[in-house]
Structures are given as C-alpha cells and as structure tokens.
Structure 1
Amino acid sequence: MTRPPQGPGWWYEPKFDGHRTIMVRAEDTVALYARSGRVVTPYWMDLALAGMALRPGTVLDGEAVIWRDGRLEFAAAQSRAASSVTRARALAARYPASYACWDPVQHPDPAIGDTRPLPYTQRRALLLELRAKVGPPIQPVPANDDRDVAEDVAEHWYEALQAQGLEGVVAKQGLAPGALFPTAPV
C-alpha cells in the first residue's frame, strides 16, 4: 500500500470511482460535461435537476456516482454514461446518481469568479459555502488535513472499504492551485 505524503499543508480526500463530470449551473439550466467535453446532461438528468438548487454561475468538478446496496458501482455509472438517453432515464429511476464534488471551478460571485488559481484550502471553503444550502445528491467529498487519519482510512480501504467501491486517498497541497481537464467549458 502506498502511504499518503506527509508534511505540513497536505489535505486528504477519498477517491470515488464513477464518471468524471463538470456541472455548470447557468441562469435557467444545468449542463453536465464529460472529461472529453461531451455534453452528458441527458444521461445524468437526475443530477442536472438537483443542480438547479445551486446558484447560477456555479461550476463544479466532481464525480457522478451510483450507490447500490451500500457500495459504489463503477460499472453502473459507466453503463449509464454509455447508454441511450431512454435507457439512462430508466436506470436513473432504479438507481439515482449522486454527485461527489471536490472542487469549485467557477464561483457565482463575480468578485471571486474563476477559482482555479486559488489555493486548495480557499477553494474547499468556497465549495462548502456553495453547497451549504444544497442537499443530496450533490455532496462535497470528505476531506481532512490529518495524515494519521488519512493513512488509517487508506489502510482500511484496502481491507474493508474497497468493497464499497472507494479507490483510495487523493492527497492535495493546501496551497496548491486547482486544475481542470482542458476541454470543459468555464
């Protein structure tokens, strides 16, 4: 097992296994984009509807995931993303999606705007603020800055929580700026 990095300023998040998605809350709608830049809104309409609770001008980076029987189902998320629109809607009715977001890309306040140049700790605070009045299925990924907790969690994921579909721990520097796959609209 790889150990999480240590030293001051590290933050740790679980790695969810799903479909990487950018959520863009426009004035009257929500659009979802895949890593390729392809519009995937029709396949994740349940998430688009939930995204209407966000403030217009919000753009989030995250993972569309599907929980089944207490575990993340990567195959179910990939199946939905690759299915026909009609089948995707039928799958959504049986297995609603959740949106595990880890980064705000754009803040609706014009004084803040593009958050990518900001340090992780600031972006994390903005993410929690943006999501404060929005309930599930849009949820920020858990995060902490305690390496011992992250290492303990990582160790348990390989033993027990991997069965829930979690892949591991992502370590981020608290002062590091954000990143985004280049084809997503901002």
Structure 2
Amino acid sequence: MRLKFIPPMMPELVDRPPEGEDWCHEVKFDGFRTQAIKDDDGIRFYTRRGHDWTAKYRPLVDEAKAIEADSFIIEGETIVTNEAGLANFSALRSAITSRPQDLYFVAFDLLHLNGHDLRDMPLEDRREILHEMIPAGGRIQFSEALPGTGAAVYHLVDKAGLEGIVSKRKLSRYRSGPTMDWRKIKCFTEKELDIIGVKREAGKPAMALMADKGRYVGGAFITMNREIRERLWDRVQGRTGAPPPKGLAKEKAEWLKPGLVGRVKFLKGEETLRHASLRDFREEET
C-alpha cells in the first residue's frame, strides 16, 4: 500500500510557555519541516507543503533504511549545523544544493507504523515508540524532550542561543493544521544597528534596512507607535540621497546618509535579520 503525505500539525506562536505538567517541551530546530514515508514503494521525503524532495535528501534516505519497520510516517525537521553544533538556517539551502551529506533529520513524531494509523494515540505514546525506532549515532536523530517546567526550559534554550521551544500537550492527538495543543515560543534579542535605508510601498508594511558595522544584515518592520514613526520619517527626509550600498542597487529603497541608529528586535542565532522589528531609533551624536 502506498502511504499518502499527511498535512502537518502546526503549533501556534505564543509569547510564553504553558504551565503545568500536562506539557512536554522540545527545542525548536531552525530548519525545514519534513515528513519521511516508507512503504512498499520505498522511502520518500516531503516538505511541509507536500512537495517530494527525496532526490534533494538522498543521504537521509539512505540513513532511513536503518530504521527497522515495514512502513512508517515520521515527522521531523531537516537541519544543518554550524561549528558550535547549532542549527544554521541561513546555511540550509546551500547545504541541500551542494552538501546534502551534511544534513540531519531530527525526528519528533510518528504518525503511522507497520500498517497502523497512530494519530489517535496520545503524543507521549507515539514518541515513546519513535524513540525506540531511531538508531543511535546517525544523521537521523530523535528530538528529546527537555526536563523541567516550560519557563525553565525556555530560559536554558534562550541562554544557549537557540531559536526557541515547542511545547506540546502530552495527551494530544495528531490533527493536521493549526492547533493550540502545540505551541511555539521563539527566542529574540535586541541590538542597535545602523539604519541605512527605508522601504515604503503602498499596501505593504514599512521597513527599515539595517547594517552592522558596515555590513548589510537585512530589513526590520517598522512597528513603533505613530509619534515615534512620524519623528523617524522627519529624520529620514533630511538624509535621503545616499548611493545604494554595493550589491543593493536593485532594491526599491530610499538610501540614507549615516547618522540614524535603530534598536532592532530579531530572532536569535542568525547572521541576517529574521522576524525583525524596529523598536526605537536615535540620532548618532556628532
């Protein structure tokens, strides 16, 4: 029997971890959501939207052959790590293209096994079976739950520079689509960066373009209150007309002369800005 891709169960983004002993907490790995399927037709790997990426993940397909089961559907995250052993999202696409042997698949849920649909089984039972299935020491690994309260786990993950955590109800059944039975809590940091440009297009959120010590690092949505935003536009007006930085001439932006510094909140552990917002700004003292 050929097994079909199952649309994933998607955690809702919240500000803080849930409390109580009904939850387990895992590291939120910064990669591509992936579903591995084995049936009579062999082993296949799918993206979050159900695209077949078996050819791109060929080394992981070979690793999956070591999992002893006639058929399975395993959910996880495909990642690549940096020198510190942390997931590195910005390097993931190039690794898939040029270094697929460096990929890892971190498995966190089991939806089907040997002809049995396990989605009505409680999460903690599905994970217990999955843990026993994953061979040690390979590039397919089990996503361990971290001991402690949600707040304690989040604190440790935040200090380690990881992306965040996913908290899941231990008794939750697997249901495709968004759910509050799974919740993701992301780790952010704030830093002062130079505002080198702004993008203002009708119908789109305004964005500040940021640089760190002369290196362009990306855009941050301008989410400040109306008073601060109007003060920013006033300062921008007097600084437009700078030449575009090298490599950015095609960007539809107003480039600014030096002197504006913004406080930016963004996702931790990235070389460029992700999920970034401009919180405040100041003028450089001359």
**TM-score higher than 0.5 here?**
yes
Distance 2:78 2:164 in 1: 17
**Residues paired across the two proteins, number:** 163
Match among 71, 74, 91 for residue 76 of structure 1: 91
Residue 51 of structure 1 deviates from its aligned partner by 0.7
Give the whole-Å Cα distance in 1 for the aligned partners of 2:177 and 2:60. Answer: 20
The corresponding residue for 2:58 is 45
Amino acid at match of 2:21: P
Whole-Å separation in 1 of the counterparts to 2:23 and 2:156: 20
Higher relative contact order (CA 8 A, sep 6+): 1
Between Structure 1 and Structure 2, which shows a larger proportion of strand residues?
2
Displacement over 4 Å in runs of 4+: none
Q: Give the share of equivalent positions with the same residue, in percent.
A: 27
**Matched AA of 1:75:** S
Unaligned runs of 5+ in 1: 82-87
Report the equivalent of 1:58.
72
Whole-angstrom distance in 2 between the partners of 1:127 and 1:77: 25
Residue in structure 1 matching 2:36, options 14, 23, 28: 23
In structure 2, the partner of 1:171 is: 167
2:104 aligned residue? 98
Find the aligned partners of 1:75 and 1:45 in 2 and give their Cα distance: 21
Task: Find the partner of 2:145 among 124, 129, 143.
Answer: 143
Question: What SS does the corresponding residue of 2:63 show, helix, strand or coil?
Answer: helix
Q: Per residue, is there more helix in 1 or in 2?
A: 1
Q: Deviations over 1:8-46 (max 9, x none)?
A: 321111100101110012346311000111101111111
Q: Whose radius of gyration is greater, 1 or 2?
A: 2
C-alpha RMSD of matched pairs (Å): 2.3
Q: Report the TM-score when normalising by structure 2.
A: 0.52
Q: Extract unaligned runs of 5+ from structure 2.
A: 1-13, 179-286
Kept in 1: contact 2:147–2:153 (CA 8 A)? no
Q: Shift in Å at residue 156 of structure 1?
A: 3.0
Provide the C-alpha distance between the structure 2 equivalents of 1:152 and 1:146, rounded to a whole number of angstroms: 6
